[in-house]
């Protein structure tokens, strides 16, 4: 059973820009997701917006363009943009928004404040994302998040493996994340090593150290 909103219920507004907005009052994130899924399926639109007016937040889904926008701040709105390479990621993004609002999408992908960055090559997008982490603590958290999504610890316990069994020519989102990782491990001074024979071409192997082990342990 979904965790009830506290305080609740919560109110959301669903819209596609045609003036026929749908207002819902729901007790938990699952109920919000069910209501929005029906709204999404019943309309053919380029833009779908979920508004949480009391929180000053909204989520905009653009399936045709493969873009998601999250907006925070009622007085001075701040928008961040995400390129999604698979159409079936829009509704999961909505669910994360219903569960934890703007912050619920922190680790859903690589967000950019400038929409022009979305059209940059994946490797450039990854480098831009990495540059946003200016402290060791923040960079380690991001490296650990990437590892938790696709990594393992080598049986020898001497190496952390990222993108386990993945090819080098995976989708654009993963290529961007791999570029981000490489920039971050360089920033942190973590030693990258050659993958052993037989490893998938997209794997990234690094020698573990105490900082990396501690950061990844929080995601295990």
Q: Which two tokens stand for residue 217?
A: 């342990």
**pLDDT at residue 168 tops 70:** no
pLDDT in tens, 6-51: 988 999 999 999 888 999 999 999 999 999 999 999 999 999 999 9
Give me the pLDDT at residue 84, please. 86
**pLDDT at residue 205 tops 70:** yes
Strand order across the 159-162 sheet: 152-153, 159-162, 204-207, 192-193
Q: How far apart are CA 55 and CA 73, in angstroms?
A: 8
Per DSSP, the three-state class of 19 is: coil
Q: How far apart are CA 58 and CA 37, in angstroms?
A: 16
Q: Which residue has 């997008």 as its token pair? A: 125
Give me the pLDDT at residue 86, please. 75
**pLDDT at residue 146 tops 80:** yes
- Closest-CA residue to 52 (of 97, 109, 16, 86): 97
Give me the pLDDT at residue 165, please. 83
Across residues 205-214, what is the average pLDDT?
94
- Overall pTM surpassing 0.75 (yes/no): no
Give the confidence band of 1 by pLDDT, cuts at 50, 70, 90: low
Q: Are 170 and 202 in contact (CB under 8 A)?
A: yes
**pLDDT at residue 3 tops 90:** no
Q: How far apart are CA 71 and CA 111, in angstroms?
A: 11
Q: How far apart are CA 51 and CA 186, in angstroms?
A: 40
Q: Which two tokens stand for residue 136?
A: 């060791």
pLDDT in tens, 98-115: 999 999 998 887 788 889
The distance between the two most distant Cα atoms of the chain, rounded to a whole number of Å, is 60
């Amino acid at each position: 059973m979904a965790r009830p909103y506290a305080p609740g219920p919560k109110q959301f507004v669903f819209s596609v820009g045609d003036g026929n907005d749908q207002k819902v009052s729901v007790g938990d994130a699952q109920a919000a997701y069910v209501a929005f899924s029906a709204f999404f399926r019943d309309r053919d639109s380029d833009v779908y917006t979920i508004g949480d007016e009391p929180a000053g937040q909204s989520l905009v889904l653009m399936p045709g363009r493969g873009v998601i926008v999250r907006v925070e701040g009622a007085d001075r709105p701040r928008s961040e943009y995400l390129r999604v390479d698979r159409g079936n990621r829009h509704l999961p993004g909505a669910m994360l928004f219903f569960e934890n609002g703007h912050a619920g999408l922190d680790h859903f992908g690589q967000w950019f404040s400038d929409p022009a960055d979305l059209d940059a090559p994946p490797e450039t997008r990854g480098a831009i994302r990495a540059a946003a982490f200016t402290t060791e603590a923040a960079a380690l958290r991001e490296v650990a998040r990437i590892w938790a999504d696709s990594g393992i610890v080598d049986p020898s316990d001497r190496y952390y493996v990222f993108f386990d069994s993945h090819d080098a020519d995976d989708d654009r989102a993963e290529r961007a994340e791999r570029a981000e990782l490489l920039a971050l491990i360089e920033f942190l001074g973590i030693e990258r090593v050659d993958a052993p024979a037989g490893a998938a071409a997209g794997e990234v192997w690094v020698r573990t150290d105490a900082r990396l082990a501690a950061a990844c342990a929080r995601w295990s």
